[in-house]
Amino acid sequence: MKDTKSKILETSLRLFNERGYESITVRDIAKQMGISHGNLCYHFANTDVIVEHLYDRLLTEIDEQLLAPSFLQQVNLESLYRMIKHIFEKLYKYKFLMQDFVSIVRKNQVLKQKHRDLVSRRRTFFEMGLEICRYEGLLRDELIKTHFQFYFDQMFIISDYWLASAEVLYEGAEESKLDYYTKLAFCTLVPYLSEKGLAEYRKLSFF
């Protein structure tokens, strides 16, 4: 049986996703759960605290698979695609965080710093994966200095803000959204692939 804190977080996530972070108060969450405002505030003082906990849960769910030994055993284009898909699936589950991210971090400097720290750690992780791909001959050498540095930044921008863009511009079926944007992010790697990498890319069954 789930405890009250877990139920509050799940209800908050659903309401934030459905109606947006700025339109939901702790009273709305308490009313939806059928508990008193005071009872909810005993566990979480305000929505900022709730969002921090949801952000931490998002990172935990991403890392449970991303940092698993079995996930890191083999690095190739298919495993890179699966990594992107896994991250995007979790971002979609907590989509309000990315859709309302600028508003959230303007109010919450703690969360802003957490995210900056996360990007720094993720950069090291992605650099390792791409370096292995270069070693395996799947990627070309840099055409210009800082080429891959800029690529990392591009990927973080896409990862953080694809949901905000999709909310405005995507016109396909909702059930196809995640697959579409995962492929969109992954195909940004194509200009960096060697002939060997392109051959492997063309063999991938999901394209």
The CATH architecture that domain 1-45 belongs to is Orthogonal Bundle (1.10)
What are the φ/ψ torsions at residue 68 (nearest 5 degrees)? -70, 140
Domain boundaries defined on the chain? 1-45, 54-203
Class of domain 54-203: mainly alpha
Q: Do the domains spanning 1-45 and 54-203 agree at the CATH topology level?
A: no
**pTM for the model:** 0.90
Question: Counting Cβ atoms within 10 Å, is residue 17 exposed (0-12), middle (13-18) or buried (19+)?
Answer: middle
Plot region of 27 (φ>0 → left; ψ -120 to 50 → alpha; else → beta): alpha
Q: Per residue in 12-54, pLDDT tens?
A: 999 999 999 999 999 999 999 999 999 999 999 999 999 999 9
Note whether 53 and 68 are within 8 A (CB): no
Supply angle C-alpha 91, 116, 19, rounded to 5: 40
Q: Per residue in 134-179, pLDDT tens?
A: 888 999 887 787 888 888 888 889 999 999 999 899 999 999 999 9
User: How far is residue 47's CA from residue 15's CA, in Å, rounded to a whole number?
Assistant: 12
